[in-house]
Structure 1
Amino acid sequence: MPENRPRIIRSVRLPQPVEDRITASFDAPPVPTSPLSTDEVFRLAEETKAEGLLVTHHAAIRGADVERIPKSVRIVATVSVGLDHLDVKAILDRGIAVTNTPDVLTDCNADLAMMLIIAASRRVKAYTEIIRNGWGHTLAMDELLGVRVSGKTLGIIGMGRIGQAVAKRAKGFDMKVLYHNRRRLDPLDEHGATWFGNLSDMLPQCQILTLHLPGNPESDSIINAKTLSLLPKGAVFVNAARGILVDEDALLDALNSGHLFGAGLDVCRNEPDPAPRLLAEPNVFMTPHVGSATIETRTAMGMLALDNVVAEVAGKPLLTPVKA
């Protein structure tokens, strides 16, 4: 067996093509049967003198965890775009590289956001429950009506790669697109959308609002009772970004009062155990944090993480380095 096989620990089972590559080209413990905790990842890394850690949010490395990273580790390669589970600056300060997997999951996350928009607007949760219960009666002309998506005004908070991809898709539905960022994008990246530097000015115009920004202390509860009250009555809300962005009590109050028509959520605050009120709410359509969950995208994410480990061990430039 070649001596230059990179030694890695992966915190979760990866798609089969990625696992096949690990078997062929890396030294690693057996495939985890369930996601490993941070402690388990560190223990295995210490035992095997691992050079690379492939992690997701299941194995967060924050605060005091950083000092416990085994000395053999040269790179933390997160199989995600989001970095809220890593204390990036502290890891870099230890001389350990950090990489993520941008770009390869943009399209699938944008596709899922559009699915949530349509599902929440067209009452897919209610329709699915009717069919599962056997249907049994013809619906009246005014029964279980949804709202039309085509032609609506869509507001996007966070016009990064995924936000831009959503804007492009929204054009196919003849939607008017608005967006809020701290800074305006180059017009070529706006895809015809209109920039609002002030969120409060944009929200009253948004018949549908979707979130595509990182979760951090600054953005914690950016969606709250005040911001929700600025949306027009009957608006649809979508979050395919991070659960921390939303005050869930305020969201449920807005739904129960009828101020919001519906919500589509791929994330929540207490994953993987959503608040019972969220699950019970008839106008909330939820998916289990699966924005990147396609064969093509998850495979590409795993391969990119491995490519970064190979580059680091070989002393070559990283493909997708994360800076402090």
Structure 2
Amino acid sequence: MKPYIFITRKLPNDIVDQLSLRYEVSMWGYEDIAVPKERLLQEAAKANALLTMLSEQVSEEVLSAGPNLKVVANMAVGYDNVDVNTAAKKGIAVCNTPDVLTDSTADLTFGLMLAAGRRMVESSEYIKQNKWQSWSPMLLAGQDIHHKTLGIFGMGKIGEAVAQRAKGFNMKVIYHNRTRKTEQEQRLGAKFCSFTELIQSADFVVCLAPLTDETRKAFTYEIFKQMKNTAVFINASRGGLVDEQGLLTALQTGEITAAGLDVFEREPISADHPLLKLPNVVALPHIGSSSRETRMAMMQLCVDNIIAVLSGEKPPALVNQDWKPKN
């Protein structure tokens, strides 16, 4: 029998056909509706490979549902939705899609900085609502991005790409990371600093760290209170790094000026989410890597990861590095 693959979201035929030529493939038939947990468990019980989205919780229950699962190919650079420890114990390869989305996510992160700092969305709504009656000197005045201090929390590859873009705006770049990166400091002109120095000194605080036990709710109201009251907070990583009630309070009380958010604690959010009621919040539906070119590259990497593992080879993007192909 051919190995069985389950794909948790509808993907283009060009991608699916590469798997169908080799394997038996089943796919959840919706682009914008997450696969129900019950269906995921049913499929995991018989699958040799799962191609998952970040919206799926690939828990111990899912990983233990069947005896034949060999690989989980997660279409994201982050993998906090996958129980990697359980997968490692069971000899299941966990794969992700790093590198191919770095530049696209950095572009969007910088776009959030510009939009929130210069009040672009608010200004667009202003004119659409027919409020623009005359030019005035301080109409919807935001703040400059150029020559300001950018503080990056999480200097991975996306953080480095954001720092590279900041050079073109003559920004001073400071960063906090679990490990210091001296080579990147020299190349990017960035300065390593403590978390406290970063939040107190930066004009734009950009959150790009992965979601871990150490980083969960790293940004609370007490942290926002330490920022400049002119600071703009950007989160393009994971919503779980932020205490949303603390952020809401900080924005309402003027502890910080604005926020640009591509991610939220629980996704998707509804239109009545309290953060969406604030004019100084730019909110996006988790589209950091959502360019046509990048999403296709992410899908292709998932396919390459699955084919490699099921062929008994090491995949190109392996999360649990201790995993080894079985003879």
Instruction: Using the TM superposition, give the Cα deviation of residue 15 of structure 1 relative to its aligned residue in structure 2, in angstroms.
Output: 4.0
Of 243, 248, 253, which aligns to 2:249?
A: 253
Q: TM-score, normalised by structure 1?
A: 0.92
Instruction: Give me the whole-angstrom Cα distance separating, in 1, the residues matched to 2:93 and 2:169.
Output: 42
Indicate the residue corresponding to 2:124 in structure 1. 128
Indicate the residue corresponding to 1:96 in structure 2. 92
Indicate the residue corresponding to 2:42 in structure 1. 43
SS at match of 1:21: helix
Instruction: Summarize the Cα distance change of 1:265–1:181 in structure 2 as closer, same or farther, 3 Å threshold.
Output: same
Instruction: Summarize the Cα distance change of 1:239–1:188 in structure 2 as closer, same or farther, 3 Å threshold.
Output: closer
Indicate the residue corresponding to 1:21 in structure 2. 18
Instruction: Give me the whole-angstrom Cα distance separating, in 1, the residues matched to 2:61 and 2:312.
Output: 28
SS at match of 1:144: coil
Is structure 2 residue 315 aligned with structure 1 residue 318? yes
Instruction: Summarize the Cα distance change of 1:124–1:25 in structure 2 as closer, same or farther, 3 Å threshold.
Output: farther
Indicate the residue corresponding to 2:324 in structure 1. none
Instruction: Using the TM superposition, give the Cα deviation of residue 259 of structure 1 relative to its aligned residue in structure 2, in angstroms.
Output: 2.3
Q: Is the 8 A contact 1:52 1:75 kept in 2?
A: yes
Instruction: Using the TM superposition, give the Cα deviation of residue 188 of structure 1 relative to its aligned residue in structure 2, in angstroms.
Output: 3.7
Matched residue pairs, number? 317
Instruction: Give me the whole-angstrom Cα distance separating, in 1, the residues matched to 2:13 and 2:127.
Output: 34
* Structure 1 stretch displaced more, 167-176 or 269-278: 269-278
Cα shift readout 1:255-288 (whole Å, capped 9, x = no counterpart): 1122211100001112102562101011000000
Instruction: Using the TM superposition, give the Cα deviation of residue 296 of structure 1 relative to its aligned residue in structure 2, in angstroms.
Output: 0.8
Indicate the residue corresponding to 1:234 in structure 2. 230
Q: TM-score, normalised by structure 2?
A: 0.91
Instruction: Give me the whole-angstrom Cα distance separating, in 2, the residues matched to 1:315 and 1:266.
Output: 37
Instruction: Give me the whole-angstrom Cα distance separating, in 2, the residues matched to 1:267 and 1:76.
Output: 23
Q: Is the 8 A contact 1:75 1:96 kept in 2?
A: yes
Instruction: Give me the whole-angstrom Cα distance separating, in 2, the residues matched to 1:192 and 1:296.
Output: 30
Q: Is the 8 A contact 1:10 1:41 kept in 2?
A: no
When the two chains are superposed, the root-mean-square deviation of aligned CA atoms in Å is 1.8
Indicate the residue corresponding to 1:140 in structure 2. 136
Q: Is the 8 A contact 1:154 1:178 kept in 2?
A: yes
Is structure 2 residue 49 aligned with structure 1 residue 52? yes
Of 1, 7, 10, which aligns to 2:7?
A: 10
Cα shift readout 1:135-154 (whole Å, capped 9, x = no counterpart): 55123211211111111100
Instruction: Using the TM superposition, give the Cα deviation of residue 67 of structure 1 relative to its aligned residue in structure 2, in angstroms.
Output: 2.0
Instruction: Give me the whole-angstrom Cα distance separating, in 2, the residues matched to 1:15 and 1:215.
Output: 29
Indicate the residue corresponding to 2:216 in structure 1. 220
Is structure 2 residue 173 aligned with structure 1 residue 177? yes
Q: Is the 8 A contact 2:10 2:27 kept in 1?
A: no
Instruction: Using the TM superposition, give the Cα deviation of residue 20 of structure 1 relative to its aligned residue in structure 2, in angstroms.
Output: 4.1
Instruction: Using the TM superposition, give the Cα deviation of residue 202 of structure 1 relative to its aligned residue in structure 2, in angstroms.
Output: 2.2
Cα shift readout 1:29-62 (whole Å, capped 9, x = no counterpart): 255223313431231344xx43110011222112
Instruction: Give me the whole-angstrom Cα distance separating, in 2, the residues matched to 1:261 and 1:118.
Output: 13
Percent sequence identity over matched residues? 36
Of 287, 293, 305, which aligns to 2:302?
A: 305
SS at match of 2:26: coil
SS at match of 1:29: strand
Instruction: Give me the whole-angstrom Cα distance separating, in 1, the residues matched to 2:192 and 2:64.
Output: 42
